[in-house]
Amino acid sequence: MINYDDEKLADCLCEDCPTFPKPTFTFPKAEGVFCAKGNILKIQNKKGCMCHHCPVFSDNNLHGSYFCIFGPID
């Protein structure tokens, strides 16, 4: 399990990911670290995944991808 904190948020690449929705009326600005929080925005469409390039992913020895869709690491 990954604990969500400001340091991880600073390292997180979720907002740069093509799957991460740009802020709109439907999707207000949200913070990433989906590997800790899961699919809080109810994202459904895969448009590419940057998880494997993220420092949070490598620093925590994670496996998998699309945490924004499939949920957090347990």
pLDDT per position as a tens digit, 39-69 = 777 788 899 999 999 999 999 899 999 998 8
Q: What is the pLDDT of residue 57?
A: 92
Q: Collapsing DSSP states into helix, strand and coil, what is residue 10?
A: helix
Q: Within 10 A of 20 (CB to CB), how many other CB atoms are there?
A: 20
Model confidence at 28: pLDDT above 80: no
Section 3-13 average pLDDT = 81
State pTM to two decimals: 0.78
Q: What is the pLDDT of residue 51?
A: 94
Model confidence at 27: pLDDT above 70: no
Q: What is the pLDDT of residue 1?
A: 67
CA distance 33 to 44: 17
